[in-house]
Each structure stands twice: as structure tokens, then as C-alpha cells.
Amino acid sequence: MIKLGVNIDHVATLRQARKEEFPSVIAAAASCEKAGADSITVHLREDRRHIQDKDVYGLRESLRTKLNLEMAANEEIVAVALDVKPDYVCLVPEKRQELTTEGGLDVAGQKKKLAQIVAKLKASGIFVSMFIDADIKQVLASHEIGADCIELHTGKYAQYFKRFGKNSKEFKSELKRISEASNKAVGAGLVLNAGHGLDYDNIAPICSVAKMNEFNIGFAIIARAVFVGIETAVKEMKVLLK
């Protein structure tokens, strides 16, 4: 069964709307774990639009499963990661003006810088993942710089599912691209994860990708939780990963 990492950024989005102390990110994570989440993902952005440093430190103490910290490859955030020591770090691209993550990290274009950060994180016992597009060049570069894992960006997969439909040539071509990048990653000994824009409608086709380790899913689960509660929303997604 493919594991489920739940990204709880948007519990913090709601809290930050009023700069309140509730809804609690710590309590949300505990509910996700109770419902069967295999890990909890939070994205500590440079602009702190949702997750705050205190959330990351609090989750480090409170989680029973694993803490996956998504972050940009910058000095300030790397220092936080080295202090918190999450189980996993996933290096992602960030642009302040972006609504959400728009693409994968260009690992191939900055190998020297990223290799140094990967080495520092791994020396602290942190498992390092690279958030990349389904591009063989990026997969090979991730392996070259010593990453343990890749997380394939499924934003285009989700867009094409919605815009063209699962039987369209556009969607099938993107799923094929994901499968090819996945095979290359597994062949290189990388752990294979995927995420971004995955939801209850589009999750089935990507479950067929061989050796998929874990999906990181956030927005769709938190949106569903508004109506059914977070435990039910997580359980409903877990069932789809069987």
C-alpha cells in the first residue's frame, strides 16, 4: 500500500487569516495520525504565510509518525532544519509572489550549491528529498548530488486530469512521463514519492506507478475536512491508496 503524507499547511492558512492560536496545527497533525497518516508534511516558507517556526518545533515534539519539512534551499531555513532535525527534508523551489508551488526544483542547474546543503542535512541524520518535475535529467541530478529520495511534482498531472480528462492523450502522456521518471529514480536507488494537486478524483491513475512509496497530499484533504472533519477526510484518502 502506498503511504500517505498529509500536508497541513492550510490548517495554518486558516489560523493566520486572523493571526489566532486556533485551529491548532499540533491538534490537526494528531488527528491526521489517528486517522492513519504515515507522515506529516509542513512547508516552512520564507514569507511564513502559513506555517510558522513554532509549528515546526512543536510538531517535532508532538508527532508519533514522521515529520517532513518542505523548504527552500536557503541559509535561514537550512539553519532551522539543522536545529529542528525533522525526519525528512524536501527541498522545493519558492517564489514569493507564487500562489503555490509552480514547478519542480531545478536541481540540474544548481548541483554544487544543492550538494553542499544535502551533505549538511544528511550529516545531521535527515533523509533528503528533492521536489522535481518528472524529468529524467532532474532525477539523475538528484541522485548525483546525494539525495535519498525524489518527490515528483504532480501539478501538471492534476491540471491535465481536470482540463482534458483521464482518457485524453495529454493526461496519458503526462502519466507516461511520470512513470518513466519513476522507473529511472527507482533504478538509481532513490525512494519515490509524489505530490501537489492530488485529490480524491485524480489519485487512482497515479497509484498504478510502480514502486511509489508515498503521496504527499494537503490542499484537497484539508478542503474536504471543512465538511467531514479531518479524520474522515484522511481515512477517505487512505482507502483510495489501497
Interface with ligand DXP by CB under 6 A: which residues? 7, 9, 43, 70, 92, 100-101, 131, 195-196, 216, 218
CA distances to 11, 16, 36, 201, 237 from 230, rounded to whole Å, are: 10, 18, 11, 18, 11
Alpha helices in 165-229 (DSSP H): 169-187, 203-206, 219-228
3-state secondary structure at position 165: coil
The helix-helix angle for 136-144 and 111-123 (nearest 10°) equals 50
> Among residues 171 and 215, whose Cβ is nearest to ligand LD2JLWAY?
215
Q: Judged by CB under 6 A, does residue 218 bind ligand LD2JLWAY?
A: yes
| Beta carbons within 8 Å of 24's beta carbon, 6+ residues apart | 11, 15
- 49 marked as binding residue: no
> Among residues 45 and 196, whose Cβ is nearest to ligand LD2JLWAY?
196
Q: Judged by CB under 6 A, does residue 196 bind ligand LD2JLWAY?
A: yes
**Active-site residue list:** 43, 70, 196
User: Cell numbers 500536508 correspond to what residue?
Assistant: 7
- 100 marked as binding residue: yes
3-state secondary structure at position 74: coil
Min separation Cβ 205 and ligand DXP, Å: 19
Which listed range, 13-21, 135-143, 210-218, 228-236, lies at the site for ligand LD2JLWAY (CB under 6 A)?
210-218
Contact predicate 52/12, CB 8 Å: yes
Q: Judged by CB under 6 A, does residue 198 bind ligand LD2JLWAY?
A: yes
Interface residues with ligand LD2JLWAY (CB under 6 A) are: 7, 41, 151, 195-198, 216-220
Binding-site positions for 1-deoxy-D-xylulose 5-phosphate: 9-10, 45, 50, 100
